Amino acid sequence: MGQALPKPALRPFLATDTPVLAAIFAASVEELTGEDYSEAQQQAWAGAADDEEQFGKRLANELTLVATLQNSPVGFAALKGKDHIDMLYVHPGVVGQGVASMLLDALEKLAGGRGAKTLTVDASDNASEFFTKRGYTATRRNTVTVNGEWLANTTMQKTLGEGAATGGPT
């Protein structure tokens, strides 16, 4: 029998995490979104973390959680205000291991604690299936400009309530 995979853990964002989270952001966009976005779109999107000072301010101004594996950051998620998921990014090396689900569950609980009744996200096309599986439904299709490129995404919404963050039986 092989060894059990280490379990991810969550902790709050620290300013010193900024460079590694910027690197996770860029790697995640560059390696995980190619089926839905062109290379030019990916480069423009990944470029949103090039200015680390500005990126760090964005993370600090929101409620940012960092997922770690053996104490190293492997993903992060940020709640803007009480009811909008601004960011959810996982390092390509650890996708499919439940890291994003763990981050999302925690953000849903924190949003509920802040009094949110619903939670929204402007989901990228590659992430919309992930959010659908977690109970989010599409409400609007958007086209936004990032660093001079047009990118499509979908506003999705979930009503928080009993069992909302538990992913209980369907």
Ligand X SMILES: CC(C)(COP(=O)(O)OP(=O)(O)OC[C@H]1O[C@@H](n2cnc3c(N)ncnc32)[C@H](O)[C@@H]1OP(=O)(O)O)[C@@H](O)C(=O)NCCC(=O)NCCS
| Contacting positions for ligand X (CB under 6 A) | 28-29, 32-33, 88-90, 95-101, 121, 123-124, 126-127, 129-130, 133
In the complex, least distance from residue 161 CB atom to ligand X, rounded to whole angstroms: 20
- Closer CB to ligand X, residue 90 or residue 160? 90
**Rounded-to-integer distance, Cα 144 and Cα 162, Å:** 34
- Closer CB to ligand X, residue 79 or residue 99? 99
**Rounded-to-integer distance, Cα 100 and Cα 106, Å:** 10
In the complex, least distance from residue 60 CB atom to ligand X, rounded to whole angstroms: 19
Q: What number of other Cβ atoms are within 10 A of residue 110's Cβ?
A: 17
- Closer CB to ligand X, residue 66 or residue 88? 88
- Closer CB to ligand X, residue 74 or residue 160? 74
Collapsed DSSP state (helix, strand, coil) of residue 25: helix
Would you state the structure tokens that stand for residue 45, as one six-digit string?
Answer: 């999107």
In the complex, least distance from residue 75 CB atom to ligand X, rounded to whole angstroms: 6
Would you state the structure tokens that stand for residue 69, as one six-digit string?
Answer: 């594996």
Q: Which residue is nearest to ligand X (CB)?
A: 100
Collapsed DSSP state (helix, strand, coil) of residue 17: helix
- Closer CB to ligand X, residue 134 or residue 160? 134
Instruction: Check if the beta carbon of residue 28 is closer than 8 Å to that of residue 92.
Output: yes
In the complex, least distance from residue 148 CB atom to ligand X, rounded to whole angstroms: 20
**Rounded-to-integer distance, Cα 9 and Cα 68, Å:** 5
**Rounded-to-integer distance, Cα 8 and Cα 153, Å:** 28
In the complex, least distance from residue 128 CB atom to ligand X, rounded to whole angstroms: 8
